[in-house]
């Protein structure tokens, strides 16, 4: 579980530039999830070995200046509610504006770490100008340049020092955590109510471990797990207009906090862009995934409808197509049990460990039969392979020239793995290393 840090501030102070700078450093390891609402506004970064998720609220504001005021307020409130720390960015060139003062008013009442970041301080004479921001009443300020990165070291030192320690899950609380995620109004709450139903008494509510995602301990049909509900928790009336940003924020929290994501799709709206964003968010975080197509009772059907719908989804999620898709209706309770059963299977697959000798016996003949194609006249020889001792399935293949192995061959190996071992709904990582 990493902490969430939000960057807030009025438009054009340089939030996105700074955001890109922070996640860029890790671009090689963690690619920012492209497409979370229009472009990259969510990424992971780390500093001094401490990892955090970064959210740039800026990219969500559209509209004219008068709409901006209300929008900014709403985003700051959201950031205050959802993030563990907040960077409030202002611009030394334009000095303090009315909007800055308004944001500062909201932030002064917060009991979370708030960092006042004065951007565009890229020359010595500007350091002097930055002093006026003291008057915002937020204490110390951090002069930086988002473009060339100066000053960001001191800011990040202070930031990671102030981030709350995320307590590791207790060993005894090893129950699988299933997060119910998806767009607003796809039927997440109905699914949870259908699962928990009138049998409320079987449920013990554990106070939300992350302040917002309520954990419900669930045991029926012989299954024990925690249900992480992101559906209707404290949805403020004010946030209605900004549901897209809100649901992304919520999903990030829930996904990071879960083992398996139940992605609820509204059959009447289809597998649209925002649902895909949530899907890729779960995939990037190596979570198990089950796609639940809800409201299936409302769809006009003939013999081919299910097949066609499923095919369409698999085209959208390629190349990771080995994901279970269950058609459900929370109203008629159709296949709800099947949905949970599938999630339990995915959870088991995600923690599957394959014995090294068995793994080599299976994979080496396959590789011998279809070796990696020669590259620049060089032949790659794979000698040995094993599963890494990680929480999620990761496999390493030792060979003489790992740099010559191309993506299509990695996919071939992954497909063979999926063919022989059940990793349905589980993202797999395959590495090639020098022996």
Residue 240 is assigned to a ligand binding site: no
Residue 193 is assigned to a ligand binding site: no
CB 116 within 8 A of CB 88: yes
Both tokens of residue 251?
A: 């999903």
Three-class DSSP category at 241: helix
CA distances from 119 to 14, 23, 24, 42, 44 (A): 7, 17, 18, 20, 21
Residue 20 is assigned to a ligand binding site: no
Residue 400 is assigned to a ligand binding site: no
Side-chain half-sphere CA neighbours of 182 within 13 A: 29
Residue 185 is assigned to a ligand binding site: yes
Residue 105 is assigned to a ligand binding site: no
Residue 408 is assigned to a ligand binding site: no
C-alpha–C-alpha distance, residues 144 and 164, integer Å: 24
Q: Could you tell me the end-to-end alpha-carbon distance of the chain, in angstroms, rounded to an integer?
A: 32
Residue 352 is assigned to a ligand binding site: no
CA angle 316, 351, 225 (to 5 degrees): 90
Residue 233 is assigned to a ligand binding site: yes
Residue 95 is assigned to a ligand binding site: no
Side-chain half-sphere CA neighbours of 125 within 13 A: 1
366, 367, 397, 400: which is closest to 384 by C-alpha? 397
Distance of CA 421 to the CA centre of its chain: 26
Three-class DSSP category at 56: strand
Residue 10 is assigned to a ligand binding site: yes
CA distances from 158 to 9, 79, 125, 147, 378 (A): 19, 19, 24, 20, 49
**What is the edge-to-edge ordering of all strands in the sheet holding 382-387?**
382-387, 394-399, 429-434
Residue 231 is assigned to a ligand binding site: yes
Residue 216 is assigned to a ligand binding site: no
CA distances from 87 to 272, 333, 407 (A): 32, 45, 38
Residue 332 CB neighbour total at 10 angstroms: 11
Residue 13 is assigned to a ligand binding site: yes
Residue 280 is assigned to a ligand binding site: no
Residue 188 is assigned to a ligand binding site: yes
Residue 373 is assigned to a ligand binding site: no
Residue 12 is assigned to a ligand binding site: yes
User: Do the bridges between strand 394-399 and strand 382-387 make them parallel or antiparallel, or are there none, so unpaired?
Assistant: antiparallel
Residue 226 is assigned to a ligand binding site: no
Residue 208 is assigned to a ligand binding site: no
Residue 330 is assigned to a ligand binding site: no
Residue 229 is assigned to a ligand binding site: yes
Q: For residue 74, give the H/E element and its range.
A: helix 65-82
Residue 197 is assigned to a ligand binding site: no
Residue 56 is assigned to a ligand binding site: yes
Residue 8 is assigned to a ligand binding site: no
Annotated binding site, which residues?
9-16, 56-60, 119-122, 182-189, 229-233, 294-297
Annotated binding site for GTP, which residues?
9-16, 56-60, 119-122, 182-189, 229-233, 294-297
């Amino acid at each position: 579980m990493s902490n969430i840090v939000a960057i807030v501030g009025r438009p054009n102070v340089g939030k996105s530039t700074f955001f890109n700078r922070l996640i860029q450093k890790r671009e090689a390891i963690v690619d920012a999830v492209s497409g979370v609402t229009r472009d990259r506004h969510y990424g992971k970064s780390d500093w001094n070995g401490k990892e955090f998720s970064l959210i740039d609220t800026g990219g969500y504001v559209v509209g004219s200046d008068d709409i901006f005021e209300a929008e900014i307020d709403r985003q700051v409130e959201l950031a205050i509610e959802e993030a563990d720390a907040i960077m409030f960015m202002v611009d030394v060139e334009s000095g303090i504006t009315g909007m800055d003062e308004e944001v500062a008013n909201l932030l002064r009442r917060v009991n979370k770490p708030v960092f006042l970041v004065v951007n565009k301080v890229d020359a010595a004479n500007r350091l002097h100008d930055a002093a006026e921001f003291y008057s915002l009443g937020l204490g110390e300020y951090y002069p930086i340049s988002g473009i060339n990165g100066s000053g960001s070291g001191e800011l990040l030192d202070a930031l990671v020092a102030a981030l709350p320690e995320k307590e590791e899950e207790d060993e005894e609380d090893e129950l699988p955590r299933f997060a119910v995620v998806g767009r607003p109004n796809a039927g997440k709450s109905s699914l949870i109510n259908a699962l928990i139903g009138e049998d409320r008494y079987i449920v013990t509510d554990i106070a939300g471990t992350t302040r917002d995602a309520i954990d419900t301990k669930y045991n029926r049909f012989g299954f024990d797990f925690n249900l992480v509900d992101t559906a209707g928790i404290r949805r403020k009336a004010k946030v209605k207009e900004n549901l897209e940003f809100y649901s992304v924020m919520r999903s990030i929290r829930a996904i990071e906090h879960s083992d398996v994501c139940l992605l609820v799709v509204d059959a009447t709206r289809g597998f649209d862009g925002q649902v895909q964003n949530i899907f890729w968010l779960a995939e990037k975080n190596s979570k198990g995934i089950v796609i639940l197509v809800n409201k299936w009772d409302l769809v006009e059907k003939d013999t081919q409808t299910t097949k066609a719908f499923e095919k369409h989804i698999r085209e959208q999620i390629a190349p990771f197509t080995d994901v279970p898709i269950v058609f459900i209706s929370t109203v008629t309770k159709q296949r709800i049990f099947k949905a949970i059963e599938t999630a339990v299977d995915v959870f088991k697959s995600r923690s599957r460990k394959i014995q090294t000798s068995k793994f080599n016996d299976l994979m080496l003949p396959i590789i011998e039969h279809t070796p990696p194609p020669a590259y620049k006249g060089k032949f790659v020889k794979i000698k040995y392979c094993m599963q890494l001792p990680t929480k999620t399935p990761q496999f390493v293949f030792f060979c003489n020239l790992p740099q010559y192995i191309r993506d299509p061959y990695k996919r071939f190996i992954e497909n063979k793995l999926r063919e022989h071992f059940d990793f349905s709904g589980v993202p797999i990582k395959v590495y090639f290393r020098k022996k």
